Chain A
Amino acid sequence: AQSVAQPEDQVNVAEGNPLTVKCTYSVSGNPYLFWYVQYPNRGLQFLLKYITGDNLVKGSYGFEAEFNKSQTSFHLKKPSALVSDSALYFCAPRALTFGSGTRLQVQP
């Protein structure tokens, strides 16, 4: 079975502050984990993925994610949020299923 959970419907953060969007996973075997971002009225864009190797994965637009096997988590992070980061973020174990999404709102 492959599933992920995004426990927060919305995350609010001030511009310049660090941001975290949470994702926990439940997968059998080796986890393949992805983060995507969706801007209004657009399709999803791939941000980063974890397949194997380093637990800290770097992706597009300054985002990174930390794979934590003991906590079964794959949280998305950015050291300094921008207003333009405001969007809908999805965690996914593969292309077949997606988390429920977390809306990130960055306030100026």
Chain B
Amino acid sequence: ETGVTQTPRHLVMGMTNKKSLKCEQHLGHNAMYWYKQSAKKPLELMFVYNFKEQTENNSVPSRFSPECPNSSHLFLHLHTLQPEDSALYLCASSPSWDTEAFFGQGTRLTVV
């Protein structure tokens, strides 16, 4: 266990659904990240939060909406997704942006 917990582990959703992914860490880290991992692109950074402020948005479509209510929790809100959004979504945290990251086990998302 890395100390970063993601829920749910698996999610199947229709293209008209709204769902949220949750990430939680109690490591006292100040930076949190969302990544997308698919067969086509191994590991894409989506969003970065540093001290609860979004510092990076890597040209992610607006159907993905992050939320960081406090330093321990990070959400990824999903709506009107496309089948090509099916992937493993990974959350990570780190003490700061230039230290090693600790990853959750990921949420396997399937859009039908």
- Interface size class of chain A, counting residues whose CB lies under 8 Å from the partner chain: 10 to 19
Contact A46 B101, CB 8 Å, known A95-B92, A101-B43: yes
Number of A-B contacts (CB under 8 A): 56
How many Å from the CB of B68 to the closest CB on chain A? 16
Question: What are the 8 tightest A-B residue pairs by CB atom distance, in nearest-first order?
Answer: A43-B103, A95-B101, A101-B42, A98-B43, A46-B100, A44-B103, A43-B105, A43-B104
Please, which residues of chain B bring their CB within 8 A of the CB of A36?
Answer: 101, 103
Q: Is the CB of B97 within 8 A of A94?
A: yes
For residues 62 through 112 of chain B, which have their beta carbon under 8 Å from a beta carbon of chain A? 88, 90, 92, 94, 97-106, 108
A34 within 8 A of B: yes
How many Å from the CB of A96 to the closest CB on chain B? 6
Closest chain A residue to B88 by CB distance? A41
Identify whether the interface residues of B are mostly helix, strand, loop, or mixed: strand
Q: Is the CB of A43 within 8 A of B2?
A: yes
For the complex, give the distance between the alpha carbons of A36 and B33 in Å: 16
How many Å from the CB of A37 to the closest CB on chain B? 11
Please, which residues of chain A bring their CB within 8 A of the CB of B21?
Answer: none
The 11 sampled A-B contact pairs (Cβ below 8 Å) are A41-B88, A41-B106, A42-B106, A46-B100, A46-B102, A90-B43, A94-B98, A96-B33, A96-B56, A97-B45, A100-B42
Q: Mark A81-108, 1 if CB is under 8 A from B, else 0.
A: 0000000101000111110110000000
